[in-house]
Each structure stands twice: as structure tokens, then as C-alpha cells.
């Protein structure tokens, strides 16, 4: 198993290289000039040329790539053209924010999705089944920004139960340690901050969680249905086990493989940024940041972020693959 993990981690190298070349080519092929977006409409030609020279934008593309790659291998992803801050720092300032949100969204999606899927499967073709799948369809069809604004209006403005956006109430003194506000509030024993962070997480997690929720529900349902048709389930029922035990102790665990796959994929996608949710809920995440960077042609940031996302995605799916072993002991990696 150890070797399997090491082998998978080694596979990261070609993946990252490929991702970086792809990102570099695409963003450079796109028309548009970062010097222009930085300097604004009012800048003179000389200023633009100076900027281009300073960031090496006037060199041939393969040379620019080589310089950038050389820096990366030394651990330096370069500096953002727009903000002058190191790319690593910019990513680290924002990635924990997205992780916290994605994590909470996945908790909701997984909890609700799996339960909905199980209920649907065990009562197939019942009104409950159709309702659950209907709600799942609704969840995946509703545009996130619309859903977000509706949640804000209902819970934020009309009922005044929850805050409108952001990560925490500004009036609470808070020291950021890791960037995971829940974690930071706990280790600093800051009760007010903990409550505030959780309250701020509720609505965006719900809004963001609806899409994976629908997918997870459907996959759970279909996987369960398949498992429920199998012979060993018939044996269990014949043994006299209660339906509840059959489902929850036996059927569920056997149907989890495809569900874990889907969860892994969705979590990886969410981590790459939930642009719309982050915008509506004013969440300072990496999704919003990288989209802005693309718009401003901030090449180092876009390249750095794409590589970073590729890395995270591979990591998350590796974890999912390892989880298979614990779900199904029959699976072995050499």
C-alpha cells in the first residue's frame, strides 16, 4: 500500500507539468495585455512598455515559460503582476477560506444526499422517492446565485436569523492563524468568533452544497438499487434480519464505492473555487480570485493557481482511492 501511495504521488509530476503547460499556453494565447489592465486606460505607451519589460512580457513565450518553471522548481511561483504580492502568499491567503466553505458544503451535501439516496432506493417508486429525486433535480437546476440571493433575503433580511455575507462579524476581534476560522477560534478559545464563523458558513454552505447534493443523492440511489437486487441481500432477508438492518448495515456499505468516487470528484471541483457562491456571499475565496486574475491576464497568478488546483485535485482523489480499501476490504493495491 505504501508503494501504491508513493507511485501515485510520483504521478503528480507529469500531471503538474502538463497542467502548467496547458495553463500557460491557454492564458497566453488569449488576447489581452496585463500591462494594459494594470496601468489603466489612462496610461501612456512608455508606461506600458516599462511594465512589459519589468515582468518579462516582451520575451518569447518558451523563454517566459522556462523562467517561470525555473522559479517554481526553486519554490517560487513568482509575483502577481497586479498586486506585486507573491503568488504563493496570495493563494495561501485565500485557499483556506475556500476549503472551509467547500468542506462544510460537502458535509451538507453528503449527509443530505446519502440519506436522500438511501431513502429513495429503499422505497423505490414511492411518492417519497419521486419527491426526493424531484427536490434533487431542483437543487441542481437552480442557479446558485439566485438560490444564494433568495437564502439571503429570507434568512438574512426578512427573518434576520443569519448574516448577509462575509466570514465573520467585523466587530469581533479575531486573530487569523491557519485561515480556517472555526479551527482558529477554537484554538484561541474565542467563543464569539466561533459562533460568528459558523453562522456565516450556514447559508453559503447550503447554497454551494445543493449541486453535489443532487449528484450524490442520485448516485447513492442507483448504486443502492443495484446492491439491493443482489443475492446476498435476499439471503439476509431470508435469515430474518429486519429491513432496517439489511439496508443500513449491509446494503449501504456495499454501495459506497461509486458514491465515494463522486464525493471525491465533487470535493475536488469545489476546492477549485466556487465563484458564484463566493461572489454572492462575499466569501474571500480562491475561485473569485483566480477568475479575476484571468480577466486581468495576471499570468503568474493564473499559472500558479491552475497548478495548485491540479495538485489538490490529484490529492483528493488519491484519498478517495485509499478510502475504498476501508469500505471494501476486497480491494487491494499492490
Partner 1 sequence: MKKALILILLSLVVLSFSFAGGKQEAPKEQEKAPVKEEKPAEEPKKAAAGGTLVFGSSGDAVRLDPADVTDGESIQRMDNIFEGLVEYEPGSTEVKPALATSWEFSDDGKEITFNLRKGVKFHDGTDFNADAVVFSFARQYDTNHPYHGYGEWAYWGYMFSDIKEVVKIDDYKVKIILSNVNASIMTSLAMFTCNIVSPANAEKYGEDAFKNPSGTGPFKFVEWVKDDHITLERNENYWRAPAKLDRVIFKVIPDASARLLSLEVGEVQGIEYPNPADFDRIRKNKDLVLMSEPGMNIGYMAMNTGYGYVDANKNGIWDPEEKLEKTPGYFEPLTKKKVRQAINYAIDKASITKNIYLETASPAVNGMPPFMLGYNDQIKDYGYNPEKAKQLLAEAGYPNGFEVTLHVMPVSRPYMFDPPKIGEAIQSYLAAVGIKVNFYQIDWGTYLQETEAGKHQMCLLGWTGDNGDPDNFLNVLYGANAGNIGAAGNYAFYMDKRNQELLSMALQTYDVDDRAKYYKEAQERIHEDAGWVYLAHARQSLVFRNNVKGYILHPTSRKFFYPVTLE
Binding interface with partner 1 (CB under 8 A): 30-34, 36-47, 50-51, 54, 82-85, 90, 93-94, 145, 149, 152-153, 155-157, 160-167, 169-176, 195-196, 198-199, 202, 248, 279-282, 284-285, 288-289, 295-297
Classify the C-alpha dihedral 18-22-23-28 as positive or negative: positive
For partner 1, the closer of residues 65 and 155 by Cβ is: 155
Q: How far is the CB of 277 from partner 1 (least distance, A)?
A: 11
CA distance 266 to 218: 14
Q: How far is the CB of 330 from partner 1 (least distance, A)?
A: 25
Element (H, E) at 331: none
For partner 1, the closer of residues 93 and 328 by Cβ is: 93
For partner 1, the closer of residues 171 and 330 by Cβ is: 171
Q: How far is the CB of 281 from partner 1 (least distance, A)?
A: 7
Q: How far is the CB of 15 from partner 1 (least distance, A)?
A: 28
What 3 state SS string does 203-261 have? Answer: HHHHHHHHHHHHHHHHHHHHHHHHHHCCHHHHHHHHHCCCHHHHHHHHHHHHHHHHHHH
CA distance 183 to 170: 18
Tally of CB atoms within 10 A around 206: 21
For partner 1, the closer of residues 20 and 80 by Cβ is: 80
Q: Helix, strand or coil for residue 180? A: coil
Q: How far is the CB of 155 from partner 1 (least distance, A)?
A: 8
CA distance 83 to 317: 33
* DSSP symbol at 79: B
For partner 1, the closer of residues 31 and 75 by Cβ is: 31
Q: How far is the CB of 27 from partner 1 (least distance, A)?
A: 12
CA distance 158 to 155: 6
Q: How far is the CB of 329 from partner 1 (least distance, A)?
A: 23
* Cα first-last separation, the chain: 6
CA distance 224 to 256: 8
CA distance 158 to 164: 11
For partner 1, the closer of residues 146 and 232 by Cβ is: 146
For partner 1, the closer of residues 42 and 330 by Cβ is: 42
Q: How far is the CB of 193 from partner 1 (least distance, A)?
A: 11
CA distance 261 to 8: 16
For partner 1, the closer of residues 117 and 163 by Cβ is: 163
Q: Helix, strand or coil for residue 149? A: helix
Amino acid at each position: 500500500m505504501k508503494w501504491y501511495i508513493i507511485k501515485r504521488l510520483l504521478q503528480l509530476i507529469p500531471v503538474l507539468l502538463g497542467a502548467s503547460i496547458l495553463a500557460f499556453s491557454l492564458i497566453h494565447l488569449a488576447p489581452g495585455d496585463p500591462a494594459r489592465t494594470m496601468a489603466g486606460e489612462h496610461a501612456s505607451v512608455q508606461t506600458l512598455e516599462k511594465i512589459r519589460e519589468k515582468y518579462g512580457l516582451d520575451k518569447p513565450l518558451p523563454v517566459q515559460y522556462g523562467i517561470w518553471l525555473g522559479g517554481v522548481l526553486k519554490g517560487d511561483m513568482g509575483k502577481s503582476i497586479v498586486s506585486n504580492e507573491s503568488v504563493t502568499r496570495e493563494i495561501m491567503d485565500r485557499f483556506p477560506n475556500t476549503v472551509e466553505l467547500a468542506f462544510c458544503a460537502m458535509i451538507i451535501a453528503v449527509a443530505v444526499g446519502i440519506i436522500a439516496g438511501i431513502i429513495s432506493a429503499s422505497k423505490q417508486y414511492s411518492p417519497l422517492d419521486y419527491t426526493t429525486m424531484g427536490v434533487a433535480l431542483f437543487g441542481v437546476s437552480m442557479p446558485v446565485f439566485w438560490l444564494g440571493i433568495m437564502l439571503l433575503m429570507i434568512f438574512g433580511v426578512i427573518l434576520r436569523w443569519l448574516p448577509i455575507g462575509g466570514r465573520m462579524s467585523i466587530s469581533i476581534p479575531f486573530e487569523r492563524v491557519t485561515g480556517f476560522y472555526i479551527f482558529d477560534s477554537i484554538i484561541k478559545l474565542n467563543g464569539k468568533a466561533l459562533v460568528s464563523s459558523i453562522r456565516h458558513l450556514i447559508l453559503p454552505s447550503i447554497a454551494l452544497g445543493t449541486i453535489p447534493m443532487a449528484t450524490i443523492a442520485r448516485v447513492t440511489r442507483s448504486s443502492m438499487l443495484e446492491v439491493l437486487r443482489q443475492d446476498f441481500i435476499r439471503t439476509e432477508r431470508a435469515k430474518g434480519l429486519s429491513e432496517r438492518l439489511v439496508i443500513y448495515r449491509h446494503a449501504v456499505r456495499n454501495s459506497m464505492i461509486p458514491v465515494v468516487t463522486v464525493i471525491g470528484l465533487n470535493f475536488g471541483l469545489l476546492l477549485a473555487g466556487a465563484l458564484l457562491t463566493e461572489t454572492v456571499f462575499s466569501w474571500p475565496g480562491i475561485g473569485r480570485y483566480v477568475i479575476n486574475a484571468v480577466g486581468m491576464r495576471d499570468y503568474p497568478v493564473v499559472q500558479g493557481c491552475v497548478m495548485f488546483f491540479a495538485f489538490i485535485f490529484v490529492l483528493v482523489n488519491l484519498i478517495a482511492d485509499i478510502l475504498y480499501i476501508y469500505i471494501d476490504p476486497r480491494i487491494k493495491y499492490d
